[in-house]
Amino acid sequence: PVCVCFQRSPIVYILSGMAPKMAENEIPIVAEGKSGVKRGSSQNIHRRFPTVASYVSELGGDKGIVIEKVLIANNGVAAIKAIRSIRRWAYDVFGDERKVKFVVMATPEDLRSNAEYIRMGDVIVDVPGGSNNHNYANVTLIVELARLHGVHAVWAGWGHASENPILPDTLANSNPPIKFIGPAGPPMRALGDKIGSTIIAQSAGVPCIGWNGADVEATYDRATGSLPEEAYDKASIANATEAFEAATKIGFPVMIKASEGGGGKGIRMVDNAENVQTAFRQVCGEVPGSPIFIMKLSKNSRHLEVQLLADEYGDAIALNGRDCSVQRRHQKIIEEGPPVAAAPDVWLEMENAAVALAKAVGYTNAGTVEYLYSEEEKKFYFLELNPRLQVEHPVTEMITGANLPAAQLQVAMGIPLRHIPEIRELYGKNRFEDVISDETTMIDFATTKRNDPTKHCIAVRITAENAEAGFKPTSGGIQELNFRSTPNVWGYFSMDSSGAIHEFADSQFGHLFASGDNREQARRNMVLALKELSIRGDISTTVDYISKLIELNDFVDNNIDTSWLDGIIKDNIDGIAEAAPKGSVLRRSTSVAIKSLDDHTYAALGATILAFDRCSSGEEAFLESLGRGQLPPQNLISMVQNVELILNETKYKLVCTRLGPHKFAVAVVGDKEKFVSTNIRVLSDGGYLIDAEGKSHVAYVTSKGDSASGMRMSVGGVSVAFSPDYDPTSLRTDVAGKLVKKLVPDGAHLKKGEPYAEIEVMKMFMPLKVEETGILTWCNNEGATLAPGDLLATLELDNPENVSAAVVFEGCLRVDGLDGAASTMGNNRAHLLFRKALGVLTEGMCGYVLIEDELSDAMENIYKAATDPSLPVFEIDEQLSVLSGRLDANLFQTLSGMVSDFKQKYGDGSQPVAGLRFPASKVEQLISDYSQSIKDPAESVHFSSLTTPLREAAAPYIKSSDAEVVGSERALNSFLQILRDWISVERWFCNDISYADAVENLRKANKENSSSVLNICRSHAQLKATSKIILRIIETIADGSRVESVTGKSPSVVAGAAGLDDALPCLSDIASMGGKAYAEVALAARKLLLHESLHSIEDRKSRVSQAAQELKNAAEKQIPKEVQHLLDENVPLSDVFFSLLNASADAQEEIALAELYARKMYRTYSLRDVKHLVDQRTLKFSFTTKQTKSVFSSTTPMTSMSDLSRALSRSSSLSNLDMTKNESESDLTSLQKSDNIPPNTVRTVFTKIV
């Protein structure tokens, strides 16, 4: 036993009314005691126990066990009800609703449908999908999961495996044994079988209605839970002939039932001999292998049931009961309690008979005995005993105050009924007693009167069935489920508004319970609850149907029986069963939501949804066309969508530009520069998560709209309805067809709603009607073929002022978003900035629209990131963090210390630290050293695999030699990947290959992967934009290939990258691309290739220095051989001249360099009188024009046939092949071409070095 005592008292007060009142600052202390010690505090207040074990220890009997982990072998409303009820009990008893843990099973269908119970479980276990024999009814799977997860008990609820005796038997025989929260296998086997339970009932003296086994009596074997086999055989119907004979003997009408049936399956009513054999075969087919029996149909009878609860010590009680007479084809629709149809004395007999039956078979836990009750005869007949909890059990909970799932758990833990606090309270006893074994505190359930109910309860099942179509089950998503509990009405559902009813789910997904002081008050409360319940989605529900049903006079007067609802459906009383209009949605709502966003935001969100859906549909159509072997039109992958939306009489003409797979720029037509940035994602429930200017919104399209109605969507629970574009002056058709007949002549005056034409659509003739009054003018002729949207006629309105036209919005959209600084705060880190910028380029290369400013910004951001010393640190740290606890502790600590030290020195990056660079090579060295120290080959392989991502992260920063651009190799690798991807796309289209041929070649090469064809075609469709990106990358690589940067210009982002030579294969492929569309890119690649084919800069610097020295030492009018070779080879000097000039400290050497440069610039002229004025640091020379004698010199380099063809086609100098000449050289060439001075004219040049 558990004792509660309080601080600051020398006495331990046991739970009794004599304990002193606890002060506010006193803390309760829980202490263990022994049996027989008095318990204190008031007996009827809620006590708190520290553990489940302490609770069982005090209240349990000899069979007490502790259950703290339960497997829920069910789904839907059953799982939800069990978890909620037991958690409520756990909080009351322990102050912790999680004292009992729940393991729940989840099929793929339940996961996709967003089932509520999955979110409630402590442990979620994936199980196979499909029908329940693969999951919730699979005993082997349930037992194995229970064993694997170490649960103490299994709760099966109702349906599925709840009535399969193999489950409790197998659990009991497992090692260790696992408790089944329900009856044991033998009584379940006996009572769950309808034939066996009826034999047992009539053998125990319980009244039974006439049936084919009425004369069979047998003794029940409690040890095995079985009856003699001959008793079963005698009470079963073997074939259709026996069925005919038994039905004739019993007298019509009869019920043919399968012993293992239930839930409306395996049961047929037969009212004449001719239908017996057919009905028998149908029952056999619905429940294959089940024994069959036939019973008399009791007309005008009620379906009443007694709720049983029995413990493991032989006690059994009746917790009142329920009236379940409102049924459709023997499927319960409405339940209520307590039953008021039976007289009190008769009801008491029914309860006593049910208790006697339970005791006769040694039944334990919860169960239900069902009876047929004849009000006319005031007699009851045993129907069956359900050895499980039933879905309508909350009715009993509301009228008795008992928590049945919690009571089931307590019984399973071996607690006697007389010790369960709620049961004691129900029988007028204190919840806790000093000594339970005392005569005054013991409960003799046979003689102690149960408290009478103080209220009435009515329950309604909420099912996904179409009442107007014969209660046909429906499935699909739920967009809205709005239920508000009140003090008199509560309910629960198996999913919320984001869920769905899948094809394998139970059609019941909710249950409502209304209570009142009497039946009429409970009924009225239920009517109001049903009218306020709002359910919207792809499913149909019975809500409206039942709300009408319980307002019928027969239900109000309680003049009903089991055939009442079937009679209503058959006779169509009060039009309840009328077929609903096609496409109607069952929905009721009593509240009007207030808009929380402005119209501009709604317009932007709606336009984004429409644009995204159109793009997605276009891509799907593209793939379908490919699959059919057709040539998909390029407009299917258009990145620009024009959208028109009308909201509150304002028309928004918008253009949505797709910037990425999920990114759009929404702008008003004509003003694309000012746009709203949106990002859209599709949720699993069919909704859209849209980020507009950094602020997220969840939207659901409730109606896509048509010619008669606009799109409707729900944003944050607010319904937004866009209006259709209403123009009654233009008479158009919204379907394709043929104009068959003009019903009125040109100029006819028509009234609103009058037909004016007939069109033929799919061999059907349809009339077209005007929507306003006016004079008609025809624009088309009879026999014309019509497409959707074609104009048939115009209508001059009599009263145009009565037709309100939408005003076209002008200006720019104003959508409030999050603070820009706050939204971009996390992107300032170098590695995030680099990836975001690279993502922009990648999306542009994939065929999405890339705004020109975005290209410049992306290249700038890549440069910022690559020149940030923290870039390698963050990228290496990311990979290192994953290895925490997986690497050697010392190695990990050393690497982490390096990262931490650098971050400390770097700070926030606002104050640059000179010479700060992360030693990435040391990371590689540490890893390599540790790898070599590992002796075990297997461990070495594992270590290598483990650290590969870390090494790959560090590698680019080892290969970057420029201290200013630490991420040059990282940037180069990214650029090269973009080049390779672009080449892999455009190689299918270059060299003037037609689009049709290219697509056909792609289709053949990608037979199993049509998505690749789509991606390639989408990228090619934006060739102009992707070419700009490629040009920028080529320019960047060209800049990086020069050692010395231009004065005043930042170094290239790839400067110092070791892998620059890796670009040559890509450049060669691009240079070889033919076709007008590729001319600019190919030329840029050829220029860079030609430059790369020349001597390296260091070699040229050496040769230029050597040539300058020879010029310095040479005699006048004599050109050294090395200088002449340098000039003949047309070696570029511009990128090395100024660096050598700046580095020189010798005036003679400076003038020699100037002469060399002058001879290079004036190589198409004849130089004479060259003089070095050293004192004045001046070079003086004269020159005259000369005629070109030859196109080529002996040393002219030719890198391609294109260069040769170009040179031969021009009558110009060799400089035309020098694609690397600077602006000065180009100007001189132009000067020569336009020079009108005679060839022998001498001109003098003075070049002064300052």
Cα–Cα distance for residue pair 655/648, rounded to 1 Å: 20
What CA–CA distance (Å, rounded) separates 692 from 608? 10
| Predicted pLDDT of residue 1242 | 84
Confidence grade of residue 399 (pLDDT, cut at 50, 70, 90)? very high
Averaged pLDDT, 208-229: 87
Comparing C-alpha atoms, which of 536, 531, 543 is closest to residue 496?
536
Is residue 1043 within 8 Å of residue 1094, measured between CB atoms?
A: no
> Which residue from 241, 113, 1002 is spatially nearest to 506, judged by alpha carbons?
113
Q: What is the pLDDT of residue 1112?
A: 80
Q: Is the separation of the CB atoms in 77 and 473 below 8 Å?
A: no
Judged against a pLDDT cut of 50, whether residue 583 lies above it is answered with: no
Q: Which of 28-42, 398-412, 1130-1144, 1148-1162 has the highest mean pLDDT?
A: 398-412
- Res 220: pLDDT: 85
Active-site residue (options: 39, 302, 388, 1100)? 388
Of the listed ranges 22-36, 140-154, 294-308, 603-617, the least confidently predicted one is: 22-36
Confidence of residue 293 (pLDDT cuts 50, 70, 90): very high
Inter-axis angle of helices 889-906 and 871-882, nearest 10: 150
Would you tell me how many other CB atoms lie within 10 Å of the CB of residue 580?
Answer: 15
DSSP string over 82-98: HHHHHHHHHHHHHS-TT
Cα–Cα nearest to 454, from 364, 516, 510: 516
Mean pLDDT of the 388-413 span: 94
Distance CA 1010, CA 1134 (A): 51
In three-state secondary structure terms, 76 is helix
pLDDT value of position 494: 81
Among 8-12, 705-709, 1041-1045, the minimum mean pLDDT is found in 8-12
What is the pLDDT at residue 1139? Answer: 80
- The residues pairing with 136 across neighbouring beta strands, listed in sequence order, are none
**Cβ proximity of 693 and 674 under 8 Å:** no
Residue 1047, pLDDT score: 45
Q: Are 186 and 226 in contact (CB under 8 A)?
A: yes
Active site residue 681: no
- Most confident of the ranges 926-935, 1165-1174, 1220-1229: 926-935
Mean pLDDT of 487-503: 79
316-352 pLDDT, tens digit each: 999 999 999 998 877 889 999 999 999 999 999 999 9
Give me the pLDDT at residue 317, please: 96
Average predicted confidence (pLDDT) for the chain: 82
Query: Which residues contact residue 490 at a Cβ distance below 8 angstroms, ignoring those fewer than 6 apart?
Result: 512, 513
Percent of the chain, pLDDT > 70? 84
The beta strands (E) that lie in 416-573 are given as: 456-463, 465-466, 472-473, 476-482, 489-493, 500-501, 508-516, 534-537
Report the run of H or E that residue 55 belongs to, with start and end. helix 52-59
Confidence grade of residue 24 (pLDDT, cut at 50, 70, 90):
very low
Tokens encoding 517: 């002081």
pLDDT tens-digit series, residues 798-832: 888 777 677 888 888 888 875 443 344 445 788 99
